[in-house]
Amino acid sequence: MSVSSAGLVGCGGQGPGAAARSGVTGTVHLGPQCPVETVDDPCDDRPASGVAVTVAEQVPGDSYTTGRAVASGLTDADGVFRIAVAPGDYVVTATAGMSCEQLDAHVVADSFAAVDIPCDTGIR
């Protein structure tokens, strides 16, 4: 089930109506935003709004390798997401720009693992 993150949660591994007590939260960033960046003229990444974030099972013993997708959601206007999943090991990624990093997340009971996902715009 996909939902926007603004306080809402996609239920992956926690039944419908269950209180979201564990999962993954974070921000998706797009960068670079400028072809040339200097110390005097920085060009910050920007948040990626309305992009899909996927949480997949992590293949045991193989970091950054995805198994079956278990939950997904959308980022809000600030690029923030919050997706409920049961405790376990996951790989989290987004669909924005040319490509986004795949990041490991270890979720424990009653907690949300934080991941910030950088995505490449292709600007050079």
Whether 1 is covered by a domain: the verdict is: no
Strand 52-58 to 66-74 pairing: antiparallel
Q: How far apart are CA 99 and CA 32, in angstroms?
A: 12
Residues 33-84: tens digit of each pLDDT: 888 777 777 788 899 999 999 999 999 888 878 889 999 999 999 999 999 9
Residues 79-118: tens digit of each pLDDT: 999 999 999 999 999 999 899 999 999 999 999 999 999 9
Whether 71 is covered by a domain: the verdict is: yes
Look at residue 39 in the predicted model and tell me its pLDDT: 76
pTM: 0.79
Look at residue 74 in the predicted model and tell me its pLDDT: 98
Percent of the chain scored above 90 by pLDDT? 61
| More confident site: 52 or 20 | 52
Angle at 69 between CA 103 and CA 28, to 5 degrees: 40
CATH number at residue 71: 2.60.40.10
User: Please, what's the b/e burial string for 100-119 (b: 16 or more CB within 10 A of its CB; e: otherwise)?
Assistant: bebbebebeeeebbebebbb
Q: How far apart are CA 107 and CA 88, in angstroms?
A: 5
- Identity of the amino acid at 70: V
Domain coverage including residue 67: 11-33+46-119
- Identity of the amino acid at 90: Y
